[in-house]
Amino acid sequence: GQQVMQIPQYQHVQEGEDFTTYCNSSTTLSNIQWYKQRPGGHPVFLIQLVKSGEVKKQKRLTFQFGEAKKNSSLHITATQTTDVGTYFCAGPGDSNYQLIWGAGTKLIIKP
Amino acid sequence: KAGVTQTPRYLIKTRGQQVTLSCSPISGHRSVSWYQQTPGQGLQFLFEYFSETQRNKGNFPGRFSGRQFSNSRSEMNVSTLELGDSALYLCASRPGHPGYGYTFGSGTRLTVV
């Protein structure tokens, strides 16, 4: 079945360093969504990418959708403690009424 | 406007019992999805409802069921609880058609002992 692979599982960074998480789908996606889940919280929608090669920015966060619409990335510049959490990507499944989720990348700020 | 409301927030049940969880979506959102989240398995799709109809179902046993009411509120039921059903159950809503992000509730933390 369709899969969305997300790496790495964890990333430890010093505050101020950059962070990147990558998603790869086994099939072409019509769109990809990104969510953030803070520790003890619930996923919060960040953005949706639709177009091939699309790049969107939200302050220090940069989201990219690959040319083939099978991969995507989220890059955070100069991480802050408020960025701590798990970042998930998700794409439509065989049915548009279901999202297939990546396993998430946990951003950990080293003390 | 009010967000997605899930009740109860926490629940402790015994193996073999059944449980019903409730979700009130954002006003105007007609699509409600349910997910199970565990540390080892991530977010697993349970089912999605729109206008009282189940449009899609994940790969879960028949012990997991759900329904949606005419006011878009939704419930999910788990019968004959097993220890492995311990998880965070998340409800998410969005406008009816695809292409919108989901708004999640805070979840119900179910512990089966």
- The model's pLDDT over A8-59, given as tens digits with 9 standing for 90+, comes to 999 999 999 999 999 999 999 999 999 999 999 999 999 999 999 999 999 9
The CB density around residue A90, as the number of other CB atoms within 10 Å, is 27
Q: What is the pLDDT of residue B98?
A: 64
B1, burial (CB in 10 Å: exposed 0-12, middle 13-18, buried 19+): exposed
Would the CB atoms of A101 and B90 count as touching at under 8 Å?
no
| Rounded Cα–Cα distance for residues B91 and B110 (Å) | 13
The pLDDT > 90 percentage for chain B reads 85
CA triple A3-A106-A58, angle to 5 deg: 90
**pLDDT one-digit tens code per residue, B35-81:** 999 987 789 999 999 999 998 999 999 999 999 999 999 999 999 99
Q: Is B39 on the interface with A (CB under 8 A)?
A: no
Phi-psi region of B16 (alpha: psi -120 to 50; beta: other; left: phi over 0): left
CB contact under 8 Å between B100 and A48, yes or no, is yes
B50:A97 CB<8 A: yes
Nearest of A48, A50, A46 to residue A38 by alpha carbon: A46
Outline where DSSP puts E strands in B1-113.
5-7, 10-13, 19-24, 31-38, 42-50, 53-57, 64-68, 74-78, 87-94, 103-104, 108-112
Residue B1 scores a pLDDT above 80: no
| Amino acid B42: pLDDT | 83
Q: What are the beta bridge partners of residue B12?
A: B111
Query: What is the residue type of B48?
Result: E
Where residue A76 falls (left for φ over 0; alpha for ψ -120 to 50; beta otherwise) is beta
| Residue A40 contacts B where some CB pair is shorter than 8 Å | no
- In this predicted structure, the answer to whether residue B26 has a pLDDT above a threshold of 90 is yes
- 3-state class (DSSP) for residue A14: strand
Q: Is A42 exposed, middle or buried (0-12, 13-18, 19+ CB in 10 A)?
A: buried
Find which of A99, A100, A101, A105 to mutate to test the B interface (most B CBs within 10 Å of its CB): A99
Cβ-nearest to B43 among A45, A88, A92: A88
CA atoms within 13 A on the CB side of B25: 28
pLDDT at B41: 74
User: Sorting pLDDT into bands at 50, 70 and 90, what band is A65?
Assistant: very high
Note whether B103 and B2 are within 8 A (CB): no
